[in-house]
Structure 1
């Protein structure tokens, strides 16, 4: 199959320009001038920009075991509708959790034949499974996830400091990657108990110091073992100096944040609206602005935060406890996979940041983190994953493809509409065109 798509604005690794993207057998074969096209080429509308397909390296699909929360068919349809052509599935909240080679095989078996975009997998690091880390790595997981406090599900317990260091030492022996939910159990244990409809009370129950303490532990263990680590879903602007110093000192640690931390602020969260509950929590606007600044630049012009990914973590409406609006009882997780791109673009556009930077945060950087060299850019030899995006069109968030579209984005006006998505040169229309990927993109 061959496809040629041209646009007056194409986001390429070296900048944005008019171009034609030629594909053969699902791969970008050439990038030529706008007029250098055969008959039958697809020409985007004047208000559309051609982006690389996005890579979301933080998605909780939950299948098997909790498929009523989300599943591979619904999650990947939502991804395709949002311009995301590759997701990486987290090892929880499925049952079994992906903490053994056997569980990884079970997850791949249930995903096969029903994914609308490409899917890769994280493994999990939990107490007692150090011997499973290398086999899972060799079987193709892109890395392993751990929690430094209670994960909320019993089948995925946290690592203490000894367990964290043992996992990092094992991963360092084959240059594997550890990604960590970094909040500290003791700091949270000393904070007020969450409960009731007050968002301020919930926020006080998970203070910024919980992130800073846990990140400090992770940085120390990463430095001592020489391993690679990654901080997921950073919400606390106060942790940025620590991370900046660690990176400047040669510690191999990378960082992500999420669209909801860049979009919302604690001051604006209505009491009782548990659709906003996530952990770590959406913090005050000062934290949000610090995260935006850290995406753009740090000391020496280098960003401190590398990427933006969804942390799509849905559940059933009943578990969100919207009936009582109790933040202490509700499941913590944001459903936002399908609207991740317009949510980030809305904020970036308002701050004068261009689409090239958004593509770096949401495509190139997560592809690099996950070790997927065929993804992340419109370039010769890469997969022909393309998105026609209308950056000035506004819409109000309504129907979503998620299985349980309880989301804080409901009814919110965003800017930027995904009009078409191609996966390896084929129209990504929600049908099961996706592949299951190993690390390296095989």
Structure 2
């Protein structure tokens, strides 16, 4: 039976308006019905129609979070496919893209990708796609992974924090870019480099956030992003900056785009919602790499979003256990650098964005369409149109809620957002026409798909 989802606030590519979305048995949008057609939906869409009238609730494309560390297999005490995708579903996310590191083995060969696929099978509540990784010496494996269906590759220009995934030298990166020429794939960069003249940290002040912040100055990002922009121009391969935090690097991105280079950049919810001035001593749940910087820096990031210098906003969900986060002693220098937030991205973004007069259309652009496009998923994901997967989030932008640990679905309830009041409550999440989350109800059995790119999905 076909289902018609109707709302007075549907976020479509042309704006927000009253509309109906007819979903067929194949889990795709069969038709977009305009307001006048909703006066007699059975006539417009046919008999035997199930109608879901959502009233004033917003009906938006499902969020695509292209930067999530699931950590399975190998570090399932930190996270796993079941818990990560349940949390994603509760946050209105319909597709996540899993990062190649922190799992054991990392996704650096086709064989390792197959191990990860086997680990994920039957566990995912939303659709899941996969990044491959570039490390020293694995360049000959990249084309095999492209053919196997990864969305692209990630590399680190500085130490990663895990033994299994080495950083890549400039020579390694250049070899990778040569391999990727002509493939339509993308190379994403953790864009920080070690600097020789950074002052040694004051270990006796390890509980002070400023002590950690001083170890990762903006110049680490500026130096790395300048090199990425040069490589992007030289090799004519799509390049992407993950989790940009330093506003000083924004002119490099702006100028690279102005020259016509295929360079994109993301920032994260924590950089847009949190500021270094407000981080308490010992609160290592706030530690991430690159670090959260000050309020002035944050406002520059918002301006860069408005001007399209930054393309998208993602979670960089990087959870860890209490011992690796050093919660007991609050040592910022030794704690794992990562923030868990995949469940709250939509609400975090809307809480801050609505104060700055961003619109619902902006939310769909930065959280749905642009991440889907980065990962070559835009023919199926990220916006609402006929033929697209029926991936929706139904949410109330006027409603607020308090982040309570009892309602957190990711594995370790360690997050800087505990007890914070957020605006924008997810009511229901739909993947391929099926409800995967509804507030106040138990989760249904996992219904997500594992996505491997095929040639017809790659349109970049």
Q: Above 0.5 in TM-score? A: yes
1:161 is aligned to 170
C-alpha displacement at 1:165, in angstroms?
A: 1.1
1:377 is aligned to 383
Using the alignment, how far apart are the partners of 2:7 and 2:202 within structure 1? 51
C-alpha displacement at 1:194, in angstroms?
A: 6.3
Residue pairs, 1:2-401, within 5 angstroms: 2-24=2-24, 25-34=26-35, 35=38, 36-38=40-42, 40-46=50-56, 48-186=57-195, 190-193=198-201, 195=203, 196-297=206-307, 303-372=308-377, 373-398=379-404, 399-401=407-409
CA offsets 1:297-356 (integer angstroms, 9 cap, x no match) = 1xxxxx100000110000111111110011011100000000000000001100011011
1:300 is aligned to none
- Give the structure-2-normalised TM-score: 0.93
2:451 is aligned to 437
Using the alignment, how far apart are the partners of 2:8 and 2:187 within structure 1? 40
- Give the structure-1-normalised TM-score: 0.96
User: Contact 2:6–2:55 at 8 Å: present in 1 too?
Assistant: no
User: Contact 2:30–2:386 at 8 Å: present in 1 too?
Assistant: yes
Using the alignment, how far apart are the partners of 1:11 and 1:247 within structure 2? 28
Using the alignment, how far apart are the partners of 2:292 and 2:141 within structure 1? 34
Provide the secondary structure at the position in 1 that maps to 2:41.
Answer: coil
CA offsets 1:242-301 (integer angstroms, 9 cap, x no match) = 11001101221100001000000111111110000000000001111111111111xxxx
Using the alignment, how far apart are the partners of 1:215 and 1:405 within structure 2? 33
User: Contact 2:123–2:446 at 8 Å: present in 1 too?
Assistant: yes
Unaligned runs of 5+ in 2: 43-48, 438-442
RMSD value over aligned CA atoms? 1.3
2:46 is aligned to none
C-alpha displacement at 1:37, in angstroms?
A: 2.5
Using the alignment, how far apart are the partners of 1:272 and 1:238 within structure 2? 27
CA offsets 1:22-69 (integer angstroms, 9 cap, x no match) = 1102000111134242453111143x1111101000000000000110
CA offsets 1:186-242 (integer angstroms, 9 cap, x no match) = 25x624326410011111110000000000111111211111110000001110011
Using the alignment, how far apart are the partners of 1:12 and 1:226 within structure 2? 32
CA offsets 1:78-98 (integer angstroms, 9 cap, x no match) = 000000000000001000000
CA 226–210 in structure 1, closer or farther in 2 if over 3 Å, else same? same
C-alpha displacement at 1:176, in angstroms?
A: 2.0
Using the alignment, how far apart are the partners of 1:172 and 1:290 within structure 2? 33
Alignment: residue pair count: 435
2:440 is aligned to none
